[in-house]
Amino acid sequence: MRATYKTLFGCVLISSVLVNALGSISAMLVGAGLGGVAVAAVYRYLLESENCNSKWTHFNSTGLEFDLDHKLFGQHVASRVILKAVTGFMNNKNPKKPLVLSLHGSTGTGKNFASELIAENIYKEGMASSFIHQFVSTVHFPHQRNIENYKSKLKQWIKGNVTICPRSIFIFDEMDKMQPGLIDSIKAYLDYYKNLDGISYRHAIFIFLSNAGGEKIMQVALDFWRAGRDREEMELKDLETALSLSVFNNKQSGFWHASLIDKNLVDFFVPFLPLEYKHVLLCGMAEMAAKGLKPNHDVATQMAREMIYTPKTEKLFSVKGCKTISSKLDYYT
Ligand SMILES: *[C@@H]1O[C@H](CO)[C@@H](O)[C@H](O)[C@H]1NC(C)=O
Ligand SMILES: *[C@@H]1O[C@H](CO)[C@@H](O)[C@H](O)[C@H]1NC(C)=O
């Protein structure tokens, strides 16, 4: 009797322990399952969201070469300089300073576009990458009276972003309209320092865009044409005078260059040539393809014809380059 009772009790006890155990095991399993799902989700999120590692930032030099050759029209000099500069910098594991490029040329010649091609061949996310930062003088730093505020903000942004990702790109558009003191405030970041407050800026890329020198570049291209020489024969050395310090030193084109040049902080000055009718035509065809339309030669011809060309006598170079092509196309389609 007692034994039976005991056994019975034992059984009850065992089964209740078992139930409890199973309960908590299943609870644990459910918990683990949920936890697993959560961990997996976090893991997937981490995998899929942009990160400052080689999966997301990986330089493709053949890609950059291909893009510069096939997508940027009429800029054989700029293409060569950019490819050489960016490839050399990206292949150098221990650069002594960040890469600083200064792109020059009149409106619509492809300075912004060339910067995009660089970004697209470094970041998987291209221009949408969170490691690329664009500043437009008239938009981000419009008021003279706020300059002190802009200075500290800009320094903070550059420092903060380089801390997050050493391989960051900073593009400054409309440099001609930038208040000189602003660039002075970030000069240290462009320099040969090993680190500043524990942060190294040596893997970053700074790109300055401006129209400064555009007219001089156009004059060189015009002289070439008038001398009956092939545009493609033009070399960087033919344009160097146009890009020289004396040109930038006048107040109009922004003397911000002077202090950067003085200290040799700009690694490459990149000239963008004025675009001819045939280049505008190519822009039109490319724009249609980019918008998912079938490239139509007649439409491209019509758009190219509507552009204004300079100088008055020869009507050789498009005054606005390819700038308004995109909006013109909206009108035609
Ligand atoms: C590099 O770019 C080329 C040309 O655009 C492309 O075919 C190739 O797949 C790219 N390579 C990598 C590793 O992304
Ligand atoms: C990075 O730069 C952006 C501007 O492009 C700025 O809004 C942001 O606050 C910066 N991030 C850090 C961590 O400083």
Interval 211-227: pLDDT, tens? 888 999 999 999 999 99
Q: What is the biggest distance separating any 2 CA atoms in the chain, rounded to whole angstroms?
A: 123
> Which among 272, 307, 323 is the end of a domain?
272
Buried b (16+ CB within 10 A) or exposed e, 186-208: beebbbeeeeeeeeebbbbbbbb
Alpha-carbon span 208 to 114, nearest angstrom? 12
Alpha-carbon span 119 to 188, nearest angstrom? 23
Does 80 map to a domain?
yes
pLDDT at site 29:
62
Q: What share of the chain is helix, strand, coil (3-state, %, to 5)?
A: 55, 10, 35
Residue (of 98, 97, 129) closest to 116 by Cα position: 129
Ligand 2 centre and the CA of 103: distance in Å? 24
Does 129 map to a domain?
yes
Do 120 and 219 reside in the same domain of the chain?
yes
Residue 170 forms beta bridges with which residues? 133, 206
Q: pLDDT per residue over 79-100, tens digit each?
A: 999 999 999 999 999 999 999 9
Buried b (16+ CB within 10 A) or exposed e, 290-320: eeeeeeeeebbeebbeebebeeeeeebbbbe
Structure tokens at 141: 């730093």
Q: Which atom of ligand 2 is nearest to the CA of 134?
A: 5
In short, whether 195's Cβ falls inside 6 Å of ligand 1 is no
Q: pLDDT per residue over 17-37, tens digit each?
A: 444 554 565 566 666 677 777
Give nearest CA residue, ligand 1 atom 9. Answer: 63
Do 105 and 71 reside in the same domain of the chain?
yes
Give nearest CA residue, ligand 1 atom 7. Answer: 63
Ligand 1 centre and the CA of 61: distance in Å? 8
| pTM, full prediction | 0.85
Do 190 and 243 reside in the same domain of the chain?
yes
Which ligand has the shortest distance to the CA of 139? 2
> Which among 272, 303, 318 is the end of a domain?
272
Q: pLDDT per residue over 158-213, tens digit each?
A: 999 999 999 999 999 988 888 878 888 888 899 988 888 889 999 999 999 998 88
Mean pLDDT computed over 102-123: 96
Do 40 and 172 reside in the same domain of the chain?
no
Does 179 map to a domain?
yes
Structure tokens at 224: 């070439």
Residue type, 204: A
Ligand 1 centre and the CA of 67: distance in Å? 10
Listed in sequence order, the residues at least 6 apart from 271 whose beta carbon sits closer than 8 Å to its beta carbon are 77, 78, 104, 105, 213, 217, 236, 239, 242, 243
Do 10 and 151 reside in the same domain of the chain?
no
Ligand 1 centre and the CA of 237: distance in Å? 32
Do 243 and 289 reside in the same domain of the chain?
no
* pLDDT tier for residue 53 given thresholds of 50, 70 and 90: confident
Does 53 map to a domain?
no
Ligand 2 centre and the CA of 153: distance in Å? 9
Of 131, 133, 136, 152, which is best to mutate to test ligand 2, by the most ligand atoms within 8 angstroms of its C-beta?
133
The set of protein residues with a Cβ atom below 6 angstroms from ligand 2 is: 133, 156-157, 160-161, 164
Structure tokens at 3: 């034994």
Structure tokens at 290: 């980019």
Do 69 and 41 reside in the same domain of the chain?
no
Give nearest CA residue, ligand 2 atom 3. Answer: 157
Alpha-carbon span 141 to 137, nearest angstrom? 5
Does 227 map to a domain?
yes
Residue type, 312: K
CA quadruple 325, 326, 330, 333: dihedral sign? positive
How many domains would you assign to the chain? 3
Mean pLDDT of all residues belonging to the chain: 86
Does 86 map to a domain?
yes
Q: Which atom of ligand 2 is nearest to the CA of 156?
A: 14
In short, whether 62's Cβ falls inside 6 Å of ligand 1 is yes
Give nearest CA residue, ligand 1 atom 4. Answer: 63
Q: Which atom of ligand 2 is nearest to the CA of 133?
A: 5
In degrees, rounded to 5, the angle at the alpha carbon of residue 78 between the alpha carbons of residues 73 and 80 is 100
CATH number of the domain residue 143 falls in:
3.40.50.300
Do 28 and 109 reside in the same domain of the chain?
no
Which ligand has the shortest distance to the CA of 65? 1
Do 91 and 227 reside in the same domain of the chain?
yes
How long a stretch of residues is the chain? 333
Q: Domain of 92?
A: 61-272
Do 106 and 228 reside in the same domain of the chain?
yes
Q: H or E segment at 245?
A: helix 245-248
In short, whether 63's Cβ falls inside 6 Å of ligand 1 is yes
Q: Which atom of ligand 1 is nearest to the CA of 63?
A: 2
Listed in sequence order, the residues at least 6 apart from 125 whose beta carbon sits closer than 8 Å to its beta carbon are 50, 56
Does 55 map to a domain?
no
Does 54 map to a domain?
no
End-to-end CA distance of the chain: 98
Do 189 and 77 reside in the same domain of the chain?
yes
Do 69 and 160 reside in the same domain of the chain?
yes
